[in-house]
Amino acid sequence: MKIESTDQDIRTLLSSGYYRIPRFQRPYSWTKEEIQDFWDDIVRDNPGDYFIGSMVVFKDANQRYGVVDGQQRLTTIAIFLVVLRNTFKKKGFKDLAAGIHGLIERKNIENKPEFILSTETSYPFLQDHILKWGEPDVPVIPKQEEENLKDALSQLDDLVGTAVQSYESDLTLTNEKKQDNIKKKLIEIRDAILNLKVIFVKLDNEDDAYLIFETLNPRGKDLSLTDLVKNHITKHLKAKSASVDQTKIKWERILETIEGSSYDIDTDTFIHHFWLSRYDYIPAKSLFKKLKLRIGKDRAKDFLNDLISDAAVYRSIHDIQFGKWSKQERRIADSLYALQLFRVQQQTPCVLSLVRAYKEKKFKMKHLEDAIDAIEKFHFLFTAVTSQRSSGGISGMYASLGRRLFEATDINESLPVIKEVKTKLKERIPSIREVNALFPEIIYTDRLTKQRGLVKYMLTAFMKQTSTGVTADFDAMTIEHLVSQDRIGSECFTEAVVGQIGNLILVSSDMNEKLKNKSFKEKKQILKNAGYSLSPEIDSATDWTVDTIKKRTEKMAIEAYNKIWKI
């Protein structure tokens, strides 16, 4: 690998080459804070010759380079020059505007205009909607990168505008003097940008660039797994057409699917779970090293296509609305929702394989229901109630079961794996003593709301047990305290007691309003008159005390363990 290094200023760099941001690069992503810092460093503080780090490129052709490192800075500088060009023109300095435009676009060896900077990630938006001097020709529906570019343009325009505003509003200056001061200020900003210093590092070819990209640490932030996998895939799947880059389109589809969700999922975690569900069990930090060895040019296309199909499945198991689960699949969707409520992750590779295999018709809906139901019940007791931390053994178990489901070809090979899921989970269920001890710690009051979702989930399950055949909109129901919260602090009614599951029931929002802070006897009568099905301990009680709350909590813990959440 041949590497050449020289120090250059931005004026020389832009005057001596054409630069392309290749497809393996990250999208433009500088934030308002980063742009403000950039402005403060080079304009407000005006240090003279200011060093902005290295810029790594590979030779594309004579005087043409692909950018490996430095694309965020170079793109921001190009946008900065666009703002100055437009401002010079707006203020009447047409020659100075044209001079800057020569560093944005100039004629090539064939005497045709060409932009100094082009990009494959946001083409044609950067070139046609930002760099171009004049109205754009190609309509574009902006995506996140395009929105970031627009925001950068707007912010820099505001900063430059503010820098010259003081001269325009100075009533002590003549119009001629105002123009002269504005011109000097804009030239000062221009020269501050063009005098920026970089270490210009040139590589011989694009293959070397892919290798360098994997080891760089741009802007002080490690490359993510997503960045590295994208780089690896695009290295092996070169674009066959100058106008249509299928690899880029497919990768964007993956990002849109995963990162378009309002749920807490990200592409790095998806790729790790995807790998665990199909290949071998490996920590996320070691995954890329293994992936590089296993996914070569001959497998890159299939690997990318598998990522696309699994991205939709992955989102559907987290984002229930995206999954468009049918009425017949409601039980599956409810269990998937519960797993999100429990904030548990280690089961995901197995669940991903289960749902994938179901969609591939390797087994029937009832088999998926059975497996997901078992996973939900296990994690209610193991994670939500007893808050036990999963060892690597459980994570490894889930990944192993997921891989075996992936490798299964039909129902005969799939069903033994599903049966084993239940068997292995039963072996790891917490004891009734642990559940009894920790059930009272699940609390909800107006002040302690962290477990509200879990409490409502539990009350819904208990109510379904006693309301067989009755249709109710559980989502619309609210949590009611039998001993009202205004009793907290009196007669031993601590918040830990009043907030216990044994003191809570589900009622409609209208009923909640009727009950308010009434006594237990009044609430009980109102509920009975309205046709609510009350549990025996509530129905038979004449008063609701600390002791009855604790006894009902204990009874509910036993019922939860032995009946409702029993695998």
The CA-based dihedral angle spanning residues 200, 201, 206, 212, taken in that order and rounded to the nearest 10 degrees: -130
Reference 512, options 485, 490, 548; nearest CA is: 485
146 contacts 122 by C-beta, under 8 angstroms:
yes
Q: Who contacts 411 (Cβ-Cβ below 8 Å, separation ≥6)?
A: 362, 363, 364, 367
Written as six digits, the tokens of 38 are 């950039």
| Three-class DSSP labels, 499-524 | CEHHHEEEECHHHHHHHCCCCHHHHH
Q: Which long-range contacts does 487-494 make (Cβ < 8 Å, 24+ apart)?
A: 488/445, 491/546, 492/546, 493/546
**CA 404 to each of CA 372, 408, 413, 421, 508: distance values in angstroms, whole numbers, following the listed order:** 16, 6, 9, 11, 45
| Three-class DSSP labels, 154-198 | HHHHHHHHHHHHHHHCCCCCCHHHHHHHHHHHHHHHHHHHHCCEE
Written as six digits, the tokens of 325 are 């689960």
133 contacts 145 by C-beta, under 8 angstroms:
no
**DSSP label at residue 270:** H
What pLDDT is recorded for position 254?
95
Between CA 108 and CA 30 the distance in angstroms is 30
Q: Which long-range contacts does 372-375 make (Cβ < 8 Å, 24+ apart)?
A: 372/332, 372/335, 372/336, 373/331, 373/335, 374/421, 374/422, 374/425, 374/567, 375/335, 375/339, 375/347, 375/350, 375/351, 375/421, 375/425
Please report the DSSP string for 365-394 in residue order: HHHHHHHHHHHHHHHIIIIIIT-PPPPHHH
Three-state SS at 22: coil
pTM, whole model, 2 decimals? 0.72
Written as six digits, the tokens of 196 are 């920026």
Three-state SS at 490: strand
49 contacts 195 by C-beta, under 8 angstroms:
yes
The CA-based dihedral angle spanning residues 501, 503, 506, 511, taken in that order and rounded to the nearest 10 degrees: -160
**DSSP label at residue 110:** T
Between CA 366 and CA 476 the distance in angstroms is 28
> CB atoms < 10 A from the CB of 228, how many?
21
187 burial via Cβ count (<10 Å: 0-12, 13-18, 19+): middle
- pLDDT in 10s for each residue of the chain, 567 residues: 778 888 999 999 999 999 999 877 888 989 999 999 999 988 887 767 788 888 889 888 778 999 988 899 999 999 999 999 999 999 999 999 999 999 999 999 899 999 999 987 788 889 999 999 988 888 888 888 899 999 999 999 999 999 988 888 887 888 889 899 999 999 999 999 999 999 898 888 877 777 777 666 444 445 789 988 998 998 888 777 655 678 888 998 999 999 989 888 999 999 999 999 999 999 998 899 899 899 999 999 999 999 999 999 999 999 999 988 999 999 999 999 999 999 999 999 999 999 999 999 999 999 999 999 999 999 999 999 998 876 668 999 999 999 999 999 999 999 999 999 999 999 999 999 999 999 999 999 999 999 999 999 999 999 888 765 455 678 889 999 999 999 999 888 999 999 999 999 999 999 999 998 899 999 999 999 998 888 889 999 999 999 999 999 999 999 999 999 999
Reference 265, options 234, 385, 274, 391; nearest CA is: 274
Between CA 187 and CA 192 the distance in angstroms is 8
In angstroms, how far is CA 368 from the centroid of its own chain? 27
Number of helical (H) and strand (E) elements in the chain, helices listed first: 26, 10
What pLDDT is recorded for position 98?
95
Between CA 339 and CA 68 the distance in angstroms is 41
268 contacts 223 by C-beta, under 8 angstroms:
no
What pLDDT is recorded for position 218?
45
Between CA 14 and CA 489 the distance in angstroms is 73
What pLDDT is recorded for position 220?
40
